[in-house]
Chains A and B, each alone.
Chain A
Amino acid sequence: MNYLLQTPEQQQTMLQKIGVPSIETLLEQIPAELRLDRPLELPPALGELELDGELRQAAARTVGASSRVCFLGGGAYEHFIPAAVDELSGRGEFYTAYTPYQAEASQGTLQAFYEFQTLICQLTGMEVANASLYEGGTAVTEAAFMAMRVTGRTGPVIIPGGVHPQYQTVCRTYLESQDLSVVQTSLREGVTDLAALRSAITPATSCVVIQQPNALGMVEDIDAIREVVHASGALLVVVCDPISLGILKRPGDQGADIVVAEGQSLGIPLQFGGPYLGLLACRNDYVRKMPGRLIGKTQDRNGKSCYVLNLQTREQHIRRDKATSNICTNQGLMALRATIYLSLLGPHGLAELAELCCRRAHYLAQELARRTDVKVLSPKGFFKEFVIRHPQGGEFLKQKARAAGFDIGPTLEEFGDLPGVDPALRKEGVLVAVTECRTPEDLDGLVNALSN
């Protein structure tokens, strides 16, 4: 089965029309000595019914969030996805279309992405958003490069320990390959140590990257950090949790220069890490320094409003090695999912969702502190994710929860490098994330699991 439509007779008709005896002649450009002289060694072809059976078996050997209770966090979250998100994004007219280069044949996509850009601006309080990047870690990296272009500074990018450890790793992979560097500063009592940050900034610092809420779930004092960062002329890059913006101040309203995020929470399934959605928004002044595709509104020949890919001279297919990024294929369909999701939620749906996550998380933290010998890192100051600890170790807690059918984590040891987190906490701590999907029974169940 390979979805071919030509019958052998039709193939002959075509060969005759071309004037060749066989397909072999058409392949004459490929030297015989370079040909594969055997069939590929691939598993045998299977029809839909047989493969369906095999895949269901393989899937059954994988334990997903729907067969256990998922309190896992660390940058990917099990949020509820309204059915309309799947139904609408599952329309073939969207998902089997290409990048909207041919505007007249792509107004549906173009308008949806214009709405996406607007929704991300409304969400973050910024003035312009692009039409998506790959995911959170690469979005942080693109923001760092963009800050260098804006400021003309190429000194170390400063990333306090509260930024997701893997975002830091990804950023280092790319920056260090260009002989640029990342300087980490430490946390103090779970949040960015302002004094350490202040002393790390130099006149060559292009930007400081702050995550809000941070990787331990704690809310940072953005106003204080902004003052320190802006005093040096560096840009403030804020990595946000889109759901938290239902109740937390928008980074744009707090003076962020560039906002990035992992958009997975906005209607995108967990699917083992991808495809997810990188968000990037900034102030209008920086628009020509932005990476990635942008959709703009314009008029057609008859004066009718319409949408096109805009400012393409920033991009690789025109500017080649001088482009603002090498990104071409982005995460379009995931951006469409986020567009539908945010449209369905609206301001009040998002605010109530954020509050629900926050209140359920705080309820769980209180009950754990009250009814178990687990310590909660901080009784307040977190949004939907928090650290619990136990003298016998994070792994001990994780296994204990696991035995009762609950997944918590990652442990701080698994999570990665967290500068400023003392070795004892690192060994003893584990993250617990609470979304709207965790019912009161789930919350009490986890408390019970950890109490005996």
Chain B
Amino acid sequence: MNNTIATRLIFEQSQPGRRSVSWPAAPLADVSLQDMLPASSLAASPPPLPEVGEPDVVRHFVNLSTQNMSVDSHFYPLGSCTMKYNPKRHERWAKLPGIIDVHPSQRDEDLQGLLGILYELQEMLAEIAGLPCVSLQPAAGAQGELTALLVAKAYFRSRGEERTAVLFPANAHGTNPASAAAAGLTCRQLAGGPDGLLDLEELQRAVNAQTAVFMITNPSTLGLFEPRIAEAARIVHAAGGLVYIDGANMNAIMGITRPGDFGGDMMHYNVHKTFTGPHGAGGPGAGPIAVRDFLGPFLPGPVVVREEQNGEIVYRRHTPASSIGRVRTFFGNVGILLRGYFYLRTLGARGVRDAAEQAVLNANYLKSSLADVLPARYGRYCLHEFVASAQQILQQRGLSAMDIAKRLLDHGFHAPTVYFPLVVPEALMIEPTETESLATLDAFVDALRKIILEEDPAVVKSAPQTTPVCRPDEVRAARQPMMCWTCPPAESIVK
């Protein structure tokens, strides 16, 4: 069924003279462009883009789309990514006139409906976080982290303190240290305890007058809630530092416990994870942050405020008093933020909590169903995800986490996250989310068992066999980088 003609590169389908668009006639036909623009700025010919017709383009991208696995088409238990169902109604609402066609330079008075929605979203995110001040500006989780670290820096500076160190556990997302570095802060990694949880004595030894922020993902990337998180926060606070909660795993705890209630001073959400984004093949996301009231004046602008004017409710954009400035040109990734708003309005308080509980139940069901073949070393029960280890399988049958992951594709399942976090050897990080059926979960367990017990391990090692390609050579890609169709292999940049 593969249409290999249509999936040739769009450039290889180019036919000079073919086209897809036509435009109306332009005015001033008797005036030369050179009388409008400096001759030296004008190009002799247009950029060498491909020349294809609309039917070419449609068939090309439709066929390309069929070479993807997606939440719409497959179970996608990618740990740490919360690949839950993305409701179709959100797509319709995001395209309403009055939402999709709003220019960022329009006046607040013309935007009361939209600003009201964004204000309400700020309030809902504050309530779920237990942290009262929200900025919707950051475009993604990583930008949320960086923004919050800049807020913390500005806060310390306002107090005449120069704190420069960020602490985080070994199983942190890579964005945590990368964001700390981007904020001009130094990084210190904590090893943690043998149970996969924080070692409070280690934390106590690590904090000092230089400690700016302790960044922690809770629930952690091992799918565990840190039971001593409040005590950890007290240690950091006693040293004068702030606690940042990486909210990537909020799907497990929303409505059950709140970052602000367990000691967090700042956090980010991943709207594209927890609140059905969607992921868009890598983005866009939205990474709003919530902070304590004493950090609110430092938030990037604008935030939406609600005021009463002559007995009428009015919403307007406002830049906080001691704002760190702008972190992006215009107001946030509104299109994604709105999908989060639609989701929360659809679920309500009970629905949000039920979703979290079902996510936990589904994850534990998989964890317990696989315990004999793919044990998860840490934790009796998990929250929304767990990290199984294929180390035993590797030793006994020579099958690595990667082999298992690739073979799952042949069974019609997307693979879990593999080899992360690094603290688990041969890691398979499995997050089913709440929107999968029992039948799907059972089928996934059956597939994994079949793979692990496959009579001939070579079948697994040669997987996947049903996908368009099999185990691309990444080393070759890096040694001879070809990142542009016209680019020849660039030997000169081989390290």
Contact = CB atoms under 8 A, between A and B. Distances in A.
Interface in B24-59: 24, 26-28, 31, 33, 35-38, 40-43, 45-52, 54, 57-58
Contacts, number: 713
Which are the 4 A-B pairs with shortest beta-carbon distances?
A273-B330, A45-B348, A92-B72, A59-B98
A298 B475 CA distance: 9
A403 interface: no
B164 to A, nearest CB: 11
A334 B284 contact: yes
A173 B41 contact: no
Given A273-B330, A323-B178, A329-B284, A26 B364 contact: yes
Contacts of A115: 9-11, 485
B224 A29 contact: yes
Contacts of A66: 97, 101
A300 B326 CA distance: 44
A333 B283 contact: yes
Interface stretch (B77-85, B391-399, B449-457): B77-85
Contacts of B344: 42-43
Interface stretch (A197-205, A230-238, A351-359, A420-428): A351-359
A6 B464 CA distance: 31
A93 B65 contact: yes
Contact of A48 (B89, B283, B350, B467): B89
Interface in B122-149: 124, 127-128, 130, 139-143, 145-146
Contact of B368 (A17, A223, A248, A333): A17
A99 B142 contact: no
Interface in A29-80: 29-31, 33-36, 39-48, 51-52, 54-67, 70, 72-76, 78
Contacts of B256: 27, 30, 35-36
Given A97-B71, A272-B330, A316-B175, A327 B142 contact: yes
Interface residues of A, number: 210
Contacts of B224: 29
Nearest to A106: B68
B345 A170 contact: no
A44 B174 contact: no
Interface in B155-198: 173-175, 177-184, 187
B204 interface: no
Contacts of B364: 14, 18, 20, 26
Given A128-B484, A271-B100, A298-B474, A109 B282 contact: yes
A82 B21 contact: yes
A371 interface: no
B335 A275 contact: yes
Contacts of A173: 150, 300, 324-327
A391 interface: no
A52 to B, nearest CB: 7
Contacts of A372: none
User: Which residue, B18, B76, B438, has most C-beta atoms of chain A within 10 A?
Assistant: B438
Contacts of A1: 346-347, 351
Interface in B254-306: 254-258, 261-262, 270, 272, 278-287, 300
B349 A39 contact: yes
A305 to B, nearest CB: 8
Which bracket fits the contact residues of B?
A: 35 or more
Given A65-B103, A270-B102, A344-B21, A35 B127 contact: no
A275 B284 contact: yes
Given A51-B342, A95-B278, A170-B327, A347 B46 contact: yes
A320 B174 contact: yes
Contacts of A219: 37-38, 41
A246 B33 CA distance: 12
Contacts of B261: 34, 36
A337 to B, nearest CB: 10
User: Which residue, A60, A112, A440, has most C-beta atoms of chain B within 10 A?
Assistant: A112
B78 A104 contact: no
User: Which residue, A108, A332, A350, has most C-beta atoms of chain B within 10 A?
Assistant: A108
B333 interface: yes
Interface in A289-340: 293-302, 304, 306-308, 310-311, 313, 315-323, 325-334, 336, 340
A392 interface: no
Contact of B27 (A33, A109, A271, A359): A359
Given A170-B326, A323-B181, A380-B35, A271 B335 contact: yes
B438 A6 contact: yes
A211 to B, nearest CB: 12
Nearest to A5: B437
A442 B209 CA distance: 63
19 contacts: A3-B85, A26-B360, A29-B381, A43-B120, A43-B348, A46-B348, A47-B346, A98-B78, A104-B469, A107-B468, A246-B46, A270-B104, A272-B331, A311-B478, A319-B174, A328-B141, A347-B49, A348-B19, A362-B31
Given A29-B227, A97-B281, A166 B329 contact: yes
B86 interface: yes
A17 B348 contact: no
A183 interface: no
Contacts of B7: 111
